[in-house]
Amino acid sequence: MFFIPGPLIAALTFPGVIIHEAGHLFFCRLFRLQVFDVCFFRFGNPAGYVIHQQTRNFTAQFFVSMGPFFANTLLCVLFCSAAFLPVWELKIVDPLAYFFYWLGLSIGMHAFPSTTDLSHLWEQAPGLAKQGNPLAILSLPLAGLLVVLNYGRVIWADLGYGILVGVLGPIALFKLLVR
């Protein structure tokens, strides 16, 4: 097995990093949380970050933490849908389609929230889930799964997620549209 340094991967997939951090910034501003510092991309670990005001509002916390996950996943499906058919099913050599596939996979690969994002969510979720908060109930299994997947990054779980979403997403979408 060969080792590819993280910064190289981040550089090759930089649109995903920027969109992930832009997602954090967007939801911070949507919920009127102060943002103190933003790095949209750098050659380091993490490749990007947003330092923002903490909040006890769980809805705000949920969207700030998980918003980029949903946004990146959705954009990955959309861009890959435009490229999936010519690349995989139709066997048409179209450079633009390959560009869109790279863009989609780059975005999908950086969908996972960081463990810091998830730990903020995890602090409040169990108590609120007991009170019947639907977002907290949703976030418990999701955050648990994402924590495991985050640790799986050492074995390319993030790339695997991008490919899974970029391939299965369009298939599911098209099959749904055909029915």
Q: Give whichever of 103 and 143 is closer to other proteins, judged by the CB atom.
A: 103
Nearest CA among 146, 139, 107, 102 for reference residue 123: 139
Q: Which of residues 52-111 bind other proteins (CB under 8 A)?
A: 52-54, 56, 75, 78-79, 81-83, 85-86, 89-92, 96-97, 100, 103
Question: What single-letter DSSP state applies at residue 86?
Answer: I
Residue 113 or 157: the one with the smaller Cβ distance to other proteins is 113
Cβ(10)–Cβ(17) under 8 Å? yes
Near other proteins by CB under 8 A, which window of 11-19, 133-141, 143-151, 153-161? Answer: 11-19
d(CA 70, CA 112): 9
What tokens were used for 179? 């029915």
For residues 92 and 154, which CB has a smaller minimum distance to other proteins in the complex? 92
Using CB under 8 A, which of 38, 135, 163, 167 touches other proteins? 38
Q: Are 154 and 67 in contact (CB under 8 A)?
A: no
**Rounded Cα gap, residues 165 and 110, in angstroms:** 12
Q: How many CB atoms lie within 10 A of CB 49?
A: 18
Of 34 and 59, the one with the shorter C-beta distance to other proteins is 34
Please provide residue 113's backbone torsions phi and psi, each rounded to the nearest 5 degrees.
-70, 155
Residue from 8, 12, 30, 34 touching other proteins (CB under 8 A): that is: 34
Minimum CB separation of residue 18 from other proteins in Å reads 7
The Cα–Cα gap between 75 and 166 comes to: 10
Q: Collapsing DSSP states into helix, strand and coil, what is residue 37?
A: strand
Counting contacts by CB under 8 A, is residue 25 touching other proteins?
yes
Q: How far is the CB of 2 from other proteins (least distance, A)?
A: 27
Binding footprint of other proteins on the chain (CB under 8 A): 15, 18-19, 22, 25, 29, 33-38, 40, 51-54, 56, 75, 78-79, 81-83, 85-86, 89-92, 96-97, 100, 103, 123-124, 127, 174-175, 177-179
